């Protein structure tokens, strides 16, 4: 499956940028608790339309429904059940939101979310999401290139990896009161993965601001990797000389490696990864073959030339 251009119904001029006041007005970030028609009462912050442009990196597959995407989630900070994030994520306060940039770069510092977003045009990108539990869905993300953001902070020649960290606040994230993982949640990419044009930071889906249960206000999306690589509610991005330790790698190294590339030839120790079930098509729908790199082989296979993907899983 190669990515094909998708034309969303609403496209704005590329010269439109998000400033603080405009961003607050668009996202409704200053008003918690309001809901969009058709969403459950326990939905999180007010959700409004975002200004986007079409992306050339979208898949041609039909996206899952809003309900599928926002009610079936892995976000252990709010509980282990797939419906726990949608039930409990309203406790997360996403405004104000600060992201710390650190490590091997020339412009470290603390940046407000609006400063992170301001220079970037948001794109509609339809990507497949593949979970290690052998299910998949197609999500119409709204986001911007991670590479474009990282370049702003001028990483130096020592920066070989990019590490990410999620908010740690058990009062807002009740799942963190349980020792399911070593909190806060941590993830990492090689610089080549981070700078690849498919890799984005997402701030929305379906042309609307990102609901809390989907990782508001800022999450990573790497479409050729398993979903656990898509760290949510990011508060820190760090450039590193050494490969960072990631949360699942620390908790279960035999099951979850650093690279997390979708490879149907490498089984999870407790189940096969060769086939997957598409969410939203019913439990009795036949599973489909899992595609190498989640179907993005043409775009990303060269990143791993010479790397043993059985040993580096």
CATH number, domain with residue 186:
3.90.420.10
Question: Which of 15-24, 240-249, 304-313 has the lowest average pLDDT?
Answer: 15-24
What's the pTM value of the predicted model, to 2 decimals? Answer: 0.85
Q: Is residue 268 part of a domain?
A: no
Q: Is residue 113 part of a domain?
A: yes
Q: Is residue 151 part of a domain?
A: yes
CA atoms within 13 A on the CB side of 20: 7
Q: Is residue 230 part of a domain?
A: yes
Q: Tell me the Cα Rg of the chain.
A: 18
- Mean pLDDT across the chain, nearest whole number? 87
pLDDT tier for residue 46 given thresholds of 50, 70 and 90: low
pLDDT digits (tens, 9 = 90+) for 238-296: 999 999 999 999 999 999 999 999 999 999 999 999 999 999 887 777 899 999 999 99
Q: Is residue 42 part of a domain?
A: yes
What integer pLDDT is reported at residue 26 of this predicted model?
39
**Residue 24 in this model has a pLDDT that exceeds 90:** no
**Residue 198 in this model has a pLDDT that exceeds 90:** yes
Q: Is the previous residue joined to 275 through a cis bond, with omega within 30 degrees of 0? A: no
Q: Find out whether 127 and 136 touch, Cβ atoms under 8 Å.
A: no
Q: Name which residue leads in pLDDT, 29 or 148.
A: 148
pLDDT digits (tens, 9 = 90+) for 110-166: 999 999 999 999 999 999 999 999 999 999 999 999 999 999 999 999 999 999 999
pLDDT more than 70, % of the chain:
85
Both tokens assigned to 289: 């073959």
**Residue 11 in this model has a pLDDT that exceeds 80:** no
Q: Give me the domain span that covers residue 98.
A: 20-245
Residue 214 and residue 57: Cα distance in Å, rounded? Answer: 21
Q: Rounded to 5 degrees, what are φ and ψ at 3?
A: -75, 135
pLDDT tier for residue 1 given thresholds of 50, 70 and 90: very low
Q: Is residue 233 part of a domain?
A: yes
Total tally of structural domains belonging to the chain: 1
Question: Which of 34-48, 181-195, 269-283 has the lowest average pLDDT?
Answer: 34-48
Rounded (10°) CA dihedral 8, 12, 13, 15 = -110
Instruction: Name, in order, each residue with C-beta under 8 angstroms of 245's C-beta and a sequence gap of 6 or more.
Output: 186, 188
Percentages helix, strand, coil for the chain (3-state, rounded to 5) are 20, 25, 55
Rounded (10°) CA dihedral 111, 113, 117, 118 = -70
């Amino acid at each position: 499956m190669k990515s094909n251009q998708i034309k969303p119904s609403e496209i704005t001029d590329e010269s439109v940028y998000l400033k603080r006041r405009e961003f607050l007005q668009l996202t409704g970030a200053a008003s918690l608790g309001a809901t969009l028609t058709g969403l459950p009462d326990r939905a999180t912050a007010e959700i409004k339309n975002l200004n986007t442009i079409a992306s050339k990196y979208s898949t041609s597959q039909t996206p899952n429904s809003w309900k599928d995407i926002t009610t079936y989630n892995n976000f252990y900070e709010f509980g282990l059940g797939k419906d726990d994030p949608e039930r409990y994520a309203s406790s997360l306060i996403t405004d104000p939101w600060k992201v710390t940039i650190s490590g091997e770069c020339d412009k470290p510092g603390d940046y407000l979310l609006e400063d992170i977003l301001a220079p970037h045009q948001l794109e509609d990108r339809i990507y497949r999401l593949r979970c290690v539990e052998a299910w998949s869905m197609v999500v119409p993300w709204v986001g911007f290139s991670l590479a474009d953001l990282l370049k702003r902070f001028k990483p130096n020649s020592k920066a070989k990896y990019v590490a990410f960290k999620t908010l740690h606040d058990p009062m807002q994230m009740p799942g963190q009161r349980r020792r399911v993982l070593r909190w806060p949640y941590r993830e990492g990419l090689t610089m080549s993965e981070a700078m690849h044009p498919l890799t984005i930071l997402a701030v929305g889906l379906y042309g609307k601001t990102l609901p809390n249960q989907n990782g508001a206000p800022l999450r990573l999306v790497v479409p050729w990797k398993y979903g656990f690589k898509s760290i949510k509610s990011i508060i820190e991005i760090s450039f590193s000389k050494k490969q960072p330790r990631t949360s699942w790698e620390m908790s279960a190294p035999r099951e979850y490696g650093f690279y997390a590339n979708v490879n149907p030839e490498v089984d999870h120790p407790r189940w096969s990864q060769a086939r997957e079930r598409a969410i939203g098509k019913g439990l009795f729908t036949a599973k489909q073959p899992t595609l190498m790199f989640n179907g993005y082989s043409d775009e990303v296979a060269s990143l791993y030339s010479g790397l043993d993907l059985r040993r580096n899983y």
